[in-house]
Amino acid sequence: MTNKEIKALISLLDDEDPDVVAHVQGKIVELGETIIPFLEESWEESLNPDYQKKLEDLIHDLQYEALRRRMKAWKEEGATDLLHGMWLVNTYQYPDVTLEQLNQRLAELYYEAWVHVKEDMHPYDQVKALNHVLFKLHHFSANTKNFHAPANSMLNQVLESKRGNPLSLCVIYLNLAQRLGLPVYGVNLPNLFVLTFKGDILPQFYINVYNRGLILTKADIDNYILQLNLNPVDIFYEPCAPIDIVRRALRNLSLSFEKLNDPEKAVEIEKLLEVLSDDPVASASEEKDPSEGEDETGDEDFKEGDDW
């Protein structure tokens, strides 16, 4: 279709005949996300709130379906690039933010971390040096004041505000550590996402990024599991895959929307979880694993300075 034909088609969304509007909406959906700039232009040119609402809904539906396709493709390609997966989560709220923009911001942090973290340092000192960069120089910290905000799961917002939840802070820390060549990975603990430093020199240890990079031992993890009255299983101690981290980010986001009394968005996030499920017919609720328990259990549980 020519630009003129597309604009004429969009104008019919304002038709008084509901059958005409339904037909036009179907045609626009067939055209896909490439038509979004035309819808946005029509929204800017209109003063009719009802017409603008139709355009907004169509734009959201097109962006959402595009996101579902991209998540499906990411999974089918192996789901190995964590930043790519977290960027996809980010585009649910901020579709105009590019992967390159996130990469650039993290690259800036990496260059500064590279100055402080040396290859010949003791692993504990490497962690302390990275802690210094993130928490002392750049003032990243836990967002305890607005714990359940969806922005806590959006990397672009966390990088801008320097406030996040356990998972988003861990993703930033993990990205920088791996760029530095450190053997740091994510661990799916119940109620709290942490990192592990699993190298060949020292016994494996853990990093509580939410508590400003506090170093923990296996005994600390044992005690934490004991406090929760859970049986210790490998998932609580060993590295998890990037897709597990993205799934957990989506569960956190779904919980955020539930807390905000926005069930429609919560349902959309659960459908994205289904796309990443190992079982195509499984629902997000059927997919729960022993670590589920959400990162956002409440502001009082993980205040900055607490052990966990």
Amino acid 10: pLDDT:
83
Same domain, 104 and 237: yes
33: exposed, middle or buried (C-beta count within 10 Å: 0-12, 13-18, 19+)?
A: middle
Question: Does residue 259 sit within a domain?
Answer: no
Q: Write out the residue range of the structural domain in which residue 199 sits.
A: 82-243+293-301
Residue-wise pLDDT for 29-49, tens only, equals 888 888 888 888 888 888 888
Q: Among 76, 111, 126, where does a domain finish?
A: 76
Q: How many domains does the chain have?
A: 2
Same domain, 128 and 72: no
Amino acid 279: pLDDT:
65
Mean pLDDT of 14-24: 79
Mean pLDDT of 210-215: 96
For residue 297, what is the DSSP state?
S
In contact, 66 and 33? CB cutoff 8 Å: yes
Residue-wise pLDDT for 79-134, tens only, equals 999 999 999 999 999 999 999 999 999 999 999 999 999 999 999 999 999 999 99
Question: Does residue 198 sit within a domain?
Answer: yes
In contact, 55 and 42? CB cutoff 8 Å: yes
Q: How far is CA 129 from CA 106, 123, 173, 210, in A?
A: 17, 10, 12, 16
Question: Does residue 144 sit within a domain?
Answer: yes
Same domain, 34 and 140: no
pLDDT at 287 over 60: no
Question: Does residue 261 sit within a domain?
Answer: no
pLDDT at 171 over 70: yes
Provide the percentage of residues in the chain whose pLDDT is more than 90.
Answer: 68
Same domain, 209 and 141: yes
Residues β-bridged to residue 192:
189
Same domain, 49 and 86: no
Amino acid 37: pLDDT:
87
Q: What is the pTM of this model?
A: 0.86
- Short-list 302, 300, 75, 304, CA closest to 189: 302
